[in-house]
Amino acid sequence: RLFRGQTAIAENDNWQAGNCGAEATAGLRPTDPREACLVATLTPGPYTAIVDDAAGRTGIALVEVFHSGGAGTLSNISTRGMVRLGDDVMIGGFIVRDHPRKLVVRARAGSLAAAGVPDLLPNPRLRLFSGQSVIAQNDDWQAGNCGAEAPAALRPTDPREACVAITLPPGSYTGIVDDTAGRTGIALGEVFASD
C-alpha 98/C-alpha 176 separation (Å) is: 24
Which residues share a beta bridge with 108? 188
List pLDDT tens digits, range 75-112.
Answer: 899 999 999 999 999 999 999 998 999 999 999 999 99
Q: Tell me how far apart the terminal alpha carbons of the chain are, to the nearest angstrom.
A: 30
Report which residue type is found at 135.
I
Q: What mean pLDDT is reported for the chain?
A: 94
List pLDDT tens digits, range 7-17.
Answer: 999 999 999 99
| Beta carbons of 133 and 139 less than 8 angstroms apart | no
- Alpha helices by DSSP H, listed for 18-84, are 20-23
- Is the CA virtual torsion 9, 115, 165, 87 positive or negative? negative
Please state the pTM of the whole predicted model. Answer: 0.89
